[in-house]
């Protein structure tokens, strides 16, 4: 005969029991047993005391009512406590939540006790009701919080024994997040850290104690408190603070030389994961002090879903992030195209693992190869193209200007032409703020890319796309274009758009990875100029802007992100040194190497003559296209292509004739360093910056 305990009915009943009472049967059983005695004894003791502590003097009617009613009451009380999850809580982490639940459950039982026993057996002495429920509450809450107190006491004794290893901690934020971090440190068996003080800007909390720790004051006493207590670590637990508020506090904390940890955001607060392990090292982007760009991702991915998407340069920092975000939202097919096979392989393996059902095509090739592009577009017919392939390194391109033109300008032209010929609906160019009033060939080549996009869009809107010449340098390319897919003029409906943003934190070739390598090798950290500034954004922000542009695009626009205030690179380097645990110009030296060829002290987001139009997203703007002769531009571009492929040493002068805003650095009439800095402070582009303007890392310009 099978054991009834192992029967399905028994298992089902056991499962229901666990849902109500929790999984740890030993602790739960002990609590229930204690509560049974507490529920029963709490109401007998007032009767006994009421009649001079003599059992024989208690009237029979009261004893009869008590003995008849109390078993029924005990059962109801246990069920009520179970419904309020008072047998499922982890009491070593008990807080006001558990306390409030106990109070509510006790109040319900109090009302139930008064009404039921009175109706069934008549009125009992007043002391029976009042003192009985008080004793019940004291006993039931006492046993639970006594366990938490014992754990805290044991932890405190253990920490005192390891006092030599302990680190002194300051917590920034006296709200729920800060209190949770404080509690986690105190009860943790594996941490010997000691919280010495709390900092909060709320003056009503100053001079008060939270769990025995003093709230010293606001951010202005951070330095003083660090010295007073000998602080080793600072935990910043202000998830609801704005990016600007958090930036200011992090900048102050970074100056102290203490180990710095930050709570990433509100998610941990909502999900109940506010622990020390949730704290992260402060990243440089935390010090930028700008709210992250917010876009309508549902709108974006509804547009992408079910479409074939082509990403040139798909293995790069921007291209790979585009691939990740697009792959997550059900495209019909994702085509990654890159000339560097290692990057392409890495993103291929990542996406295969994360999205095994994704129709992923990874192809190697160059945007300079007309035949390869036409072959791919003919076979796969992509509907959306994100063109991220480009040479971006300013000094290297200054030494190889023809390569910049071949890859950036002509490569963009060839990719855009293939997209047009094979009926793509959207073509999104990744541009840069270096295209504005460029002083280097890389920026000038990206301005040429923008002009290509604007020219293509203009010809499509005018209904004359057939006038767009097919640029090629090999004789047999002519056959490819003449025999390729050629739709009717009315079928050319590709919308061309450019997206312009500043430097991307952590991208290939950006300053942050370089600084980190220099710091890790012991320095020095090389900064070109103490006054050089740049606009920065994170890779996810850049990708969000690119994706949003694809939705907003009507053709011909240059989308620009409002990137807030510029960042001083010198200050960025110093903060990064501090975040990695060193002291600037003491442990790690900073060297100023001078501006590199073609490098500006500042970057602009728009040319002065380009007005701004608003979009539905207040952080994304549209620059009005600068008019130019499109047909003349096509002729000039073809001549430029031949010059580039012939490696003409006069290529810079040729580009200067086409891009009227290009003024190569070092040539007569170009801006000198002092003039540039003066323009930064007083020019019309940066008229809102002044010597009293506080930068995003606490620097005054």
482-526 pLDDT, tens digit per residue, is 444 455 445 678 899 898 877 776 666 667 778 888 988 988 999
Q: What pLDDT, on the 0 to 100 scale, is given for residue 507?
A: 63
Write out the two tokens for 364: 């190697």
Residues forming beta bridges with residue 527, ordered by sequence position: 592
Question: Which of 464-477 are b and which e, b meaning 16 or more Cβ less than 10 Å from the residue's Cβ?
Answer: ebeebebbbeeeeb
Rg of the chain (C-alpha set): 35
DSSP string across 3-20: -GGGSHHHHHHHHHHHHH
Q: Which helix (H) or strand (E) holds 620?
A: strand 620-623
Rounded distance between C-alpha atoms, residue 199 and residue 206, angstroms = 8
DSSP string across 421-459: HTT-SEEEEEEEGGGSS-SSHHHHHHHHHHHHHHHHHHH
Report angle CA 159, 160, 164 to the nearest 5 degrees. 90
Q: Cβ contacts of residue 410 below 8 Å, gap of 6+?
A: 368, 471, 637, 641, 644
Segments of the chain scoring below 70 in pLDDT: 1-25, 89-96, 147-148, 150-165, 188-191, 263-295, 473-491, 505-510, 562-565, 598, 603-611, 619, 625, 666-701
Q: Cβ contacts of residue 270 below 8 Å, gap of 6+?
A: none
Nearest Cα residue to 206 out of 222, 220, 219, 217? 217
Rounded distance between C-alpha atoms, residue 641 and residue 412, angstroms = 12
136-181 pLDDT, tens digit per residue, is 999 988 887 776 676 666 655 555 555 555 788 999 988 888 888 8
At residue 312, the 3 state secondary structure works out as strand
Write out the two tokens for 676: 């540039």
Please report how many Cα atoms fall inside a 13 Å half-sphere around the Cα of residue 394, on the Cβ side.
21
Nearest Cα residue to 168 out of 264, 235, 238? 235
Nearest Cα residue to 312 out of 376, 247, 238, 399? 376
Rounded distance between C-alpha atoms, residue 354 and residue 344, angstroms = 16
Rounded distance between C-alpha atoms, residue 655 and residue 636, angstroms = 9
- Cβ(191)–Cβ(219) under 8 Å? no
Q: Which helix (H) or strand (E) holds 147?
A: helix 126-161
Q: What pLDDT, on the 0 to 100 scale, is given for residue 682?
A: 31
Rounded distance between C-alpha atoms, residue 522 and residue 589, angstroms = 9
At residue 561, the 3 state secondary structure works out as strand
**What is the set of domains in the chain, with CATH numbers?**
16-156 (no CATH), 164-282 (3.40.50.720), 297-505+535-563+608-666 (3.40.50.720)
| Residue 196 phi, psi (nearest 5) | -100, -30
At residue 87, the 3 state secondary structure works out as coil
Q: What pLDDT, on the 0 to 100 scale, is given for residue 503?
A: 72
Nearest Cα residue to 89 out of 148, 151, 154? 148
Cα four-point dihedral sign 575, 580, 582, 587? negative
Question: Which of 113-136 are b and which e, b meaning 16 or more Cβ less than 10 Å from the residue's Cβ?
Answer: bbeebeeeeeebbeebbebbbebb
Residue 261: Cβ within 10 Å count: 20
Q: Which residue has the tokens 């309508």?
A: 296
Rounded distance between C-alpha atoms, residue 349 and residue 354, angstroms = 9
């Amino acid at each position: 005969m099978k054991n009834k305990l192992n029967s399905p009915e028994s298992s089902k009943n056991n499962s229901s029991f666990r849902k109500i009472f929790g999984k740890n049967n030993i602790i739960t059983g002990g609590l229930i047993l204690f509560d049974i005695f507490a529920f029963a004894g709490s109401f007998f003791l007032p009767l006994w005391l009421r009649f001079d502590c003599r059992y024989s003097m208690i009237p029979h009617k009261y004893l009869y009512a008590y003995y008849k009613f109390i078993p029924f009451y005990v059962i109801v009380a246990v069920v009520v406590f179970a419904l309020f999850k008072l047998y499922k809580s982890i009491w070593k982490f008990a807080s006001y939540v558990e306390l409030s639940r106990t109070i509510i459950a006790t109040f319900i039982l109090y009302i139930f006790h008064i009404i039921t026993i009175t109706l069934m057996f008549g009125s009992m002495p007043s002391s029976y009701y009042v003192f009985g429920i008080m004793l019940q509450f004291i006993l039931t809450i006492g046993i639970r919080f006594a366990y938490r107190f014992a754990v805290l006491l044991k932890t405190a004794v253990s920490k005192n024994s390891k006092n030599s290893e302990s680190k002194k901690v300051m917590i920034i934020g006296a709200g729920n997040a800060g209190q949770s971090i404080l509690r986690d440190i105190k009860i943790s068996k594996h941490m010997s850290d000691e919280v010495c003080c709390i900092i909060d800007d709320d003056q009503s909390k100053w001079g008060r104690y939270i769990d025995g720790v003093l709230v010293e004051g606001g951010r202005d006493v951070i330095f003083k408190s660090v010295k007073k207590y000998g602080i080793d670590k600072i935990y910043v637990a202000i998830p609801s603070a704005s990016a600007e508020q958090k930036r200011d506090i992090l900048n102050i904390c970074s100056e102290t030389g203490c180990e710095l940890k930050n709570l990433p955001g509100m998610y941990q607060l909502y999900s109940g994961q506010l622990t020390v392990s949730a704290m992260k090292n402060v990243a440089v982007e935390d010090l930028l002090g700008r709210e992250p760009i917010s876009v309508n991702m549902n709108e974006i991915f509804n547009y992408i879903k079910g479409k074939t998407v082509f990403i040139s340069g798909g293995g790069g920092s921007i291209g790979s992030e585009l691939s990740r975000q697009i792959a997550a939202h059900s495209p019909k097919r994702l085509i990654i195209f890159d000339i560097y096979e290692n990057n392409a392989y890495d993103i291929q393996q990542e996406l295969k693992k994360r999205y095994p059902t994704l129709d992923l095509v990874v192809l190697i090739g160059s945007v300079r190869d007309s035949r390869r592009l036409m072959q791919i577009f003919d076979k796969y017919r992509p509907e959306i193209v994100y063109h991220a392939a480009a040479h971006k390194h300013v000094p290297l391109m200054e030494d190889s200007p023809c390569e910049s033109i071949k890859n950036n300008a002509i490569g963009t032209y060839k990719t855009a032409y293939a997209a047009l010929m094979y009926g793509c609906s959207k073509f999104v160019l990744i541009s840069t703020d270096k295209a504005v009033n460029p002083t280097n060939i890389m920026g000038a080549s990206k301005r040429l890319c923008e002009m290509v996009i604007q020219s293509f869009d203009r010809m499509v809107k005018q209904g004359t796309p057939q006038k767009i010449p097919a640029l090629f340098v090999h004789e047999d390319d002519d056959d490819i274009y003449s025999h390729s897919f050629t739709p009717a003029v009315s079928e050319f409906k590709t919308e061309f758009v450019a997206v312009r943003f500043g430097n991307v934190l952590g991208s290939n070739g950006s300053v942050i990875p370089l600084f980190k390598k220099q710091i890790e090798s012991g320095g020095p950290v090389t900064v070109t100029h103490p006054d050089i500034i740049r606009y920065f954004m994170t890779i996810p922000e850049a990708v969000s802007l690119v994706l949003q542009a694809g939705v907003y695009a009507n053709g011909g626009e240059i989308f620009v992100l409002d990137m807030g205030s510029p960042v001083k690179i010198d200050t960025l380097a110093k903060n990064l040194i501090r975040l990695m645990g060193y002291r600037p110009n003491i442990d790690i030296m900073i060297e100023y190497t001078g501006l590199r060829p073609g490098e500006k002290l500042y970057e602009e987001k728009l040319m002065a003559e380009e007005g701004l139009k608003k979009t539905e997203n207040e952080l994304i703007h549209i620059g009005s296209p600068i008019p130019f002769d499109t047909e003349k531009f096509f002729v000039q571009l073809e001549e430029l292509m031949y010059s580039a492929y012939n490696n003409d040493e006069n290529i810079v002068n040729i580009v200067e004739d086409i891009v009227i805003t290009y003024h190569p650095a070092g040539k007569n009439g170009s801006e000198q360093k002092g003039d540039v800095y003066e323009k930064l402070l007083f020019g019309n582009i940066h008229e809102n910056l002044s010597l009293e303007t506080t930068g995003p890392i606490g620097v005054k310009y």
